[in-house]
Amino acid sequence: MAIREPKVPGPDHPITIEKTGRRVLVRIGARIVADTTEALTLREAAYPPVQYIPLDDVDETLLASSDTKTYCPYKGDASYYSITVPQNPDTEGRLVDAVWTYREPYESVAPIAGHVAFYTDRVEVVVEAP
């Protein structure tokens, strides 16, 4: 296995993490998957902002650990969950690898530990207006 050299965010690849400061809901149809006022907004380079939600504010009964793993040189090793939503005809009941987490993120993004993020093309993530 190749040696992984962590990269540190900087002017060429900025990453910021701040409290969202608003209620964030994650839904599949009418089903609430997560509801929090403790989300973190991670902004990375030119990518769209991502809401990281405390795992405690997610309906964990809907999550199933996946064997999928990926690596980001700025954040570390990511693990994935699939979401099981019984009787949801739009998703056939399972959204594979729709959620990711960095269980032991690199120091530069340490605040996202204990949080998960959702692919917005698979679920609806709503940041309520102030």
**pLDDT tens-digit profile of 43-65?**
999 999 999 999 999 999 999 99
- Do 50 and 35 contact (CB within 8 A), yes or no? no
CATH number of 15-127, picked from 3.40.50.10490, 3.40.50.970, 3.30.1490.20, 2.170.150.40: 2.170.150.40
Amino acid at 118: F
129, two tokens: 């207006």
User: What's the farthest any 2 CA atoms get from each other in the chain?
Assistant: 47
28 to 38, 84, 118: CA distances (angstroms):
20, 10, 11
pTM tops 0.75, yes or no: yes
Residues 9-40 have pLDDT tens digits of: 999 999 999 999 999 999 998 899 999 999 99
pLDDT tens, position by position, 72-126: 999 999 999 999 877 655 556 789 999 999 999 999 999 999 999 999 999 999 9
- Side-chain-facing half-sphere of 68: CA atoms under 13 Å: 12
